[in-house]
Amino acid sequence: MMAEALAALGVKVALLDIHAEKAEAREAAITERGGVARFFPCDVLRPAELQTCFEEIAALWEPPDILINGAGGNDPRGSTSREFLEPGDVGTPDVKTFFDLDYEGFRSVFDLNFLGTFLATRAFARGMLHRGRGAVLNISSMSALTPLTQVAAYSAAKAAVSNFTRWLAVHFAHTGIRVNAIAPGFLLTEQLKFLHIDPHTGELTARARKVLAHTPMGRYGTPEELLGTVIWLLSDAAAFVTGVVVPIDGGFSSYTI
Ligand SMILES: NC(=O)c1ccc[n+]([C@@H]2O[C@H](COP(=O)([O-])OP(=O)(O)OC[C@H]3O[C@@H](n4cnc5c(N)ncnc54)[C@H](O)[C@@H]3O)[C@@H](O)[C@H]2O)c1
């Protein structure tokens, strides 16, 4: 979605993804509409692959002056099955408590969301440094502000992404490279469905109803509703904006009771 919007504005888009299928479809869709896009297979957790991609893109076009760190997401292995731990839960079949969170699951969520952002930025910001300009956009989450229940690893990782965004914005402040993030609220995408749609009934879960009740606008957002902020943060319209994490959340993060 972001790639297509940027391509429509004339940006040449390199699509780095570990999975070819969706990225190739996106590449084809952009090309069909007259845009310029190219898929580069890449695991953002492998520095050597990131470096190769950077060199290939620089040789094909020029070193990028925009980086969106979009690889990320949640995994049930880093989440508990209930909001609160009750006495007696530990050891109960089908109840996944804090004590059942497995090391690999927790680490994979943390690594993908946080280390993937760090490593990709390290690989691509060097080219921006030489150009004396650049804009990095990280993807944080509502869970970075006040952690959402159950999603322990995801919350920790996204809090790290927000913190790192602000740290790096300061560190790069004299270089011409700006670093910002968006914190999307609840968009009913594939990654959200496992907690929001009951797989047996197809109905909204109790958690989903709670989220909607806590969203002043009373609905899920759509991926399209991120685009205005994304384009603003990446463009010269935000030339004096660095180190911000912009909530796009229908009011979720401002609402208590
Ligand atoms: N969907 C939401 O409601 C929501 C809300 C807040 C934040 N976000 C964040 O937005 C970002 C994008 O989410 P999405 O909903 O578009 O998810 P998505 O699964 O559609 O996109 C993530 C992409 O990352 C790729 N990827 C996974 N592991 C990778 C790796 N090691 N190296 C390279 N690529 C890898 C996947 O193949 C996929 O194409 C994520 O950081 C997510 O946490 C989503």
Query: Domain coordinates of the chain in residue numbers?
Result: 42-185+221-254
Name the β-bridge partners of 181: 138, 245
Per-residue pLDDT 10s for the chain (257 aa) are: 999 999 999 999 999 999 999 999 999 999 999 999 999 999 999 999 999 999 999 999 999 999 999 999 999 999 999 999 999 999 999 999 999 999 999 999 999 999 999 999 999 999 999 999 999 999 999 999 999 999 999 999 999 999 999 999 999 999 999 999 999 999 988 777 777 898 899 899 998 999 999 999 999 999 999 999 999 999 999 999 999 999 999 999 999 98
**Token pair of 24 as six digits:** 């190739």
- Contact between 73 and 113 under an 8 Å Cβ cutoff? The reply is yes
pTM of the model: 0.96
Task: Give the fold, CATH level 3, of 42-185+221-254.
Answer: Rossmann fold (3.40.50)
Can you point out the beta strands (E) in the chain?
A: 13-17, 37-41, 66-69, 134-139, 177-184, 245-248
- Contact between 114 and 157 under an 8 Å Cβ cutoff? The reply is yes
154 assigned to active site: yes
Residue type, 65: D
| 73 Cα–ligand 1 center, Å | 5
Q: Which residues lie with the beta carbon below 6 Å from any ligand 1 atom?
A: 17-19, 22, 42-45, 70-73, 112-113, 116, 139, 141, 184, 186-187, 189, 191-192
| 72 Cα–ligand 1 center, Å | 4
pLDDT for res 146 = 95
Distance between CA atoms of residues 218 and 7, nearest Å: 32
Ramachandran class of 238: left when φ > 0, alpha when ψ lies in -120 to 50, beta otherwise:
alpha
| 20 Cα–ligand 1 center, Å | 14
Q: Can you tell me which atom of ligand 1 is nearest the CA of 190?
A: 15
Q: Which of 103, 154, 220, 255 is catalytic?
A: 154
Residue among 18, 162, 182, 252 to mutate when testing ligand 1 (max atoms within 8 A of CB)? 18
Q: Which residue has the tokens 């650049």?
A: 134
| 89 Cα–ligand 1 center, Å | 32
Distance between CA atoms of residues 256 and 141, nearest Å: 18
**Token pair of 90 as six digits:** 């530990």
**Token pair of 42 as six digits:** 């890449």
